Structure 1
């Protein structure tokens, strides 16, 4: 059996502590909506026009209102990340009156366009 001595033991402890903190950071960085984490995704509607995008929010059964908020957030995030603007012109909107957008199975889909200056 091999034992770790002095500086090597300290290095192992620092690496273990770093790994533990990194693992915790992932869950604390998650943004929740109405206390629920949704794995929303966005993508360009087409290769030719990246300003237009599609947002999908799965697991609507966890909460319709939270899924709407997650969709609105993801649309703004897409525009900020790709164009530096948070202005969105929605075609199918998460900001519409409640019940306007109906789930397709257990998923909501929104479409919009980033408004450029």
Structure 2
């Protein structure tokens, strides 16, 4: 299975799995993360996800951020479709937080 397909399958399983990505938590490959998605500005379609890094790999941080973003869009608009606007190739050096922004699509 290719890496993008494997990542998509993992995200789909996490969305369906009970207890995965509840509230302000995300679980990826057995690791639990503090992950929070909040509206970014006046338009609630735009949001920012913050994940506490804790030395995790970039792919793991992206998966945790995706869980939080998906949960936000489903709770807010009933859809899991997202257009990610920021996808850094590396985590922010010296920061404890990994941040992605996106827009919920209806």
TM-score computed with the length of structure 2 as normaliser: 0.68
Q: CA RMSD in A?
A: 2.0
Alignment: residue pair count:
83
> 2:33 — aligned with what?
38
Sort the Cα spacing of 1:72 and 1:30 in 2 relative to 1 into closer, same or farther, 3 A.
closer
Please give the secondary structure, in 2, of the residue aligned with 1:65. helix
Structure 2: runs of 5 or more not aligned:
1-17, 22-26
> 1:110 — aligned with what?
100
Distance 1:30 1:51 in 2: 23
Is the 1:60–1:103 contact (alpha carbons within 8 Å) kept by the matching residues of 2? no
More strand as a share of residues: 2
Please give the secondary structure, in 2, of the residue aligned with 1:68. helix
Is the 1:57–1:71 contact (alpha carbons within 8 Å) kept by the matching residues of 2? yes
Sort the Cα spacing of 1:53 and 1:69 in 2 relative to 1 into closer, same or farther, 3 A.
same
Structure 1: runs of 5 or more not aligned:
1-27, 94-98
Distance 1:63 1:101 in 2: 9
